[in-house]
Amino acid sequence: MIAVNADQPFVLGGALRLRWSTRGALSIAMVLGVVAIPLRGLFIATGSSMEEGFMLVFPKRLLAGDVPNVDYLHLYGPFSIHVLAAWYTVFGYTLEAQRVFGLLQHVGIIFALYALARAWGHRTAVITAVTVTMLVLTPIGLSALAWEGGIALGLWSVVFGVRALHAEGRSRTVALVATGVLVGCALGYRPDLALALGIVHTWLLLRHRRLGNRVWRPLGIGLAVGLVPTAVHLAMAGVGPSFQGMFLDPVLHLRPGRELPRPPSFSQIDGALQAVAEGPADAPWWKFPALSANHQLFFWFWVVIAVAIALPILVWRLARRHGWTTHLTVLMGGALFGLGMLPQALQRPDSTHLAWGSCVSFALLPCVVVELLSLRPGEGQPNRSIVTRHAPLVAGAVVGLVMFVICPFFTYRYYLLQSRVSVGNKPGGFEVSRNDRNFYFGNAALQTASQAAINDLAAGMKPGERLLVGPADLSRTIYSDVVFYYLFPDLAPATYYIEMDPGLADREGSRLADDVATADWLILTNFWTGWYEPNASSTFGSDAPNQVVADHFCQVGNYLDALVLLYHRCDKGDGVSPAGIGLGAQRRADFDAELKKRAAAG
């Protein structure tokens, strides 16, 4: 059993040693137990057909010689793709392998916060770990997304950065090198973490300023090592394409089609995916008293902002009054990192981004409560009896109640749902498969239509042919069911826009029409045709890709009234649009009328 000295936690400079600690073992077992309960449900849960799909497909394309930002659109850091490519090489190219890696990323976040909270004792650390589990594990599933990996790496950089403040000699040097490596790797996962990492590590460096080069040299060496994957990607892709793919496209071109109102609408749910998930037929069971989903999102938004800003201010005020104790140093490091994550919650305030942006700040609330209760009024001196007997329980009750009132649908309810699946009380997702590959859709109709299309394509295709997957109307690329590429690894993706986003694939002058012309097969879906959000995703883009389909492809299959459409190149050139391609003038008029109706309704 690995445990730290009970009197000096690892984050405060304690040595990591191999010895048995009953309290440490019990604490870690409790956290792992909370993580384990819903795991079976999470492994057979509905996946996000684009986001989880591209974390399956992009690493495989890298192994095939394709370069992110050159051969396919990728909006995040390249390091996660390289790591997953290595992971698949060792453990197999399967959905389960990908979800195991996603689980490890979640565990990395959970135990980084556990390590920070150990400064307040085992019980507070357990409460902190359970709190963050509710925010990162079940609401967003086990997809191995780059954000979770970046947060895990970033949080561990905070753990080692704070440790370096309290360590001496070789231990401090090792901690500084590790800090630099972790910062560089986190930026390789998500360059937009630069704000959070910059804020916290600038503050830590100011705390180290008396040591001069004894800090800068090991930290710089570590950072240089951590940035090697990013440097390799820049050499492979070039600075221009990398800047276009990781900065210009997500910040300038994508944002208008993905952002949501701030604050969220009080009277309705703004996010299209969330509106579907919270519909009467899809919302999970929850019989406890609760605000409606749209009201929870509205109030949660304001609480996220308040907590992220209030934590570092509160720590600073306590430090001015009582001095910089070791506990306040730990708390400030975590609080500043949480503050830097706030833009992630603000850019698109649906439940996923609110959970992503608040997971660190919310998880630190138990530490704040314990710290406040451990101070004698007016003295600032530790009162160990209160901390030991009462503070952790009070902290757990306070934080648990806040989440139960503000956001139970997006924390406890999904944990309960996946736990029910785990014990066989409820079925999981609806499975589709081909050979040894499988995926889970959200309902029986999607499963039936998709499996029929998969079977027909498998019967008619030849290895090495080219496949393009997209929405039925390619002039409105709101989403793409990338997972079909994963199910057909013997077909080459025919487009740069494996991931499709509004304002990118459908903009005038994009290469999508040329890409369609190179395809042998098309899988086009109407899964997302009813997508409506109060942003630019409701705008139609170029119709040129639809015209290429009309001129050069014949319909092979129409499944469940065009829910899925399968096309094969036939070059009939008759100029007649096959059924299901494009909305047509009347359908566009109907769609515009629906937008006006929703806008008038508020």
**Does the pLDDT of residue 563 top 90, yes or no?**
yes
CA 91/CA 86 separation, integer angstroms: 9
Give me the pLDDT at residue 1, please: 29
Q: At what angle do helices 293-322 and 351-363 cross, to 10 degrees?
A: 30
**Does the pLDDT of residue 194 top 50, yes or no?**
yes
Count CA atoms closer than 13 A to 203's CA, side-chain side: 21
The 10s digit of each residue's pLDDT in 337-359 is 999 999 999 989 999 999 999 99
Q: Any idea which of 42-51, 66-75, 370-379 has the lowest mean pLDDT?
A: 370-379
The whole-chain average pLDDT of the chain stands at 88
Q: Where are the alpha helices (DSSP H) in 190-325?
A: 194-208, 213-226, 228-237, 239-243, 255-258, 272-277, 293-322
The average pLDDT across 586-602 equals 49
Give me the pLDDT at residue 284, please: 85
The 10s digit of each residue's pLDDT in 482-541 is 999 999 999 999 999 999 999 899 999 899 999 999 999 999 999 988 888 898 888 899
Give me the pLDDT at residue 372, please: 87
DSSP string, 444-468: HHHHHHHHHHHHHHHHH--TT-EEE
266 or 382, which is more confident: 266
Return the HEC string of 139-170.
Answer: CCCCCCCHHHHHHHHHHHHHHHHHHHHHCCHH
**CA angle 538–484–536, rounded 5-degree value:** 10
Name the maximum alpha-carbon separation found in the chain.
86
Distance of CA 511 to the CA centre of its chain: 28
* C-alpha closest to that of 549 among 462, 471, 437: 471
Q: How distant, in Å, are the alpha carbons of 132, 322, 364 from that of 372?
A: 21, 12, 13
Give me the pLDDT at residue 441, please: 95
Give me the pLDDT at residue 134, please: 95
Give me the pLDDT at residue 209, please: 77
**Does the pLDDT of residue 208 top 70, yes or no?**
yes
Cβ contact 13:166 at 8 Å = yes
* Token pair 């947060």: residue: 151
* Token pair 């409460």: residue: 127
The 10s digit of each residue's pLDDT in 426-448 is 999 999 999 999 999 999 999 99
**Does the pLDDT of residue 597 top 90, yes or no?**
no
CA 134/CA 408 separation, integer angstroms: 10
Cis peptide before 263 (omega within 30 of 0): yes
Give me the pLDDT at residue 591, please: 46
Cβ contact 256:534 at 8 Å = no
Give me the pLDDT at residue 602, please: 45
CA 175/CA 276 separation, integer angstroms: 46
Give me the pLDDT at residue 556, please: 94
Which residues, including other chains, have CB under 8 Å from residue 320's CB and lie 6 or more apart?
A: none
* Token pair 């530490």: residue: 367
Which residues, including other chains, have CB under 8 Å from residue 298's CB and lie 6 or more apart?
A: 263, 264, 265, 266
φ, ψ for residue 434 (rounded to 5)?
Answer: -150, 125
**CA angle 359–339–215, rounded 5-degree value:** 110
Which residues, including other chains, have CB under 8 Å from residue 449's CB and lie 6 or more apart?
A: 559, 560, 563, 564
State the pLDDT confidence band at 577, using cuts at 50, 70 and 90. very low
State the pLDDT confidence band at 381, using cuts at 50, 70 and 90. low
Give me the pLDDT at residue 574, please: 43
Strands of the sheet with 466-471, listed across from one edge: 492-493, 466-471, 521-525, 564-569, 553-559
Q: Model-level pTM?
A: 0.92
CA 77/CA 98 separation, integer angstroms: 18
The 10s digit of each residue's pLDDT in 119-148 is 999 999 999 999 999 999 987 789 999 999
End-to-end CA distance of the chain: 57
State the pLDDT confidence band at 212, using cuts at 50, 70 and 90. low
589 or 404, which is more confident: 404
The average pLDDT across 366-374 equals 89
Count CB neighbours of 238 within 10 A.
Answer: 14
